[in-house]
Amino acid sequence: MKINRLPPTMEIRERYIIFSIVSENKYSLENTVKTIWSSILQLFGEVGSSEFNVWIPSNLYNENTNTGIIRCSHNHVQQVRASLALIKSIDNKPLIFKTLGVTGTIRSAKDKFLTVK
């Protein structure tokens, strides 16, 4: 039995935003995700943020280097980047969210930005 797929025009195209947190402190995945979602919800609300299809894979966040990947819809990359730029602190500790790049696949994100050269 053949599995039916959506036609390419109906598939949700995704982009992967690679970010780094510039700070003296190390942040857990839980605090980082909570802060990112809080910023997105404050800026765009629940209806707006539901269209972004934001997902933060837990296995691609490195607590030692404070780097990670955010998946979102290709139409809403700029909105997600804007909400990241507005984050100024986690637990009242100052920081800078830096966007390293945007790619179309997780593999290219890992190869270009998350590997040690």
What is the per-residue pLDDT for 40? 95
Number of domains in the chain: 1
Q: Are 20 and 96 in contact (CB under 8 A)?
A: no
9, part of any domain: no
Q: Which domain holds residue 31?
A: 14-114
- Is it the case that residue 117 has pLDDT exceeding 60? no
Q: What number is the average pLDDT over the span 12-39?
A: 93
- pTM, two decimal places: 0.87
d(CA 54, CA 71): 6
**Residue 3 belongs to some domain of the structure:** no
Residue 19: closest CA among 116, 91, 87:
87
User: Please, what's the b/e burial string for 30-49 (b: 16 or more CB within 10 A of its CB; e: otherwise)?
Assistant: eebbebbeebbeeebeeeeb
Euclidean distance between CA atoms 86 and 77, whole angstroms: 15
Q: Can you tell me which residue has the tokens 């190869």?
A: 111
Tell me if 1 is assigned to some domain.
no
Q: With 80 as the cut, is the pLDDT of residue 17 above it?
A: yes
**For position 38, what pLDDT does the model report?**
95
In a domain, 4, yes or no: no
Q: What is the mean pLDDT of residues 37-42?
A: 95
Q: pLDDT by residue (tens digit) across 94-114?
A: 999 999 999 999 999 999 988
- For residue range 41-90, what is the model confidence (pLDDT) as tens digits? 999 999 989 999 999 998 999 999 999 999 999 999 999 999 999 999 99
Tell me, yes or no, whether 103 lies in a domain.
yes
Q: What is the pLDDT of residues 2-15, one digit of tens each?
A: 888 888 888 788 99
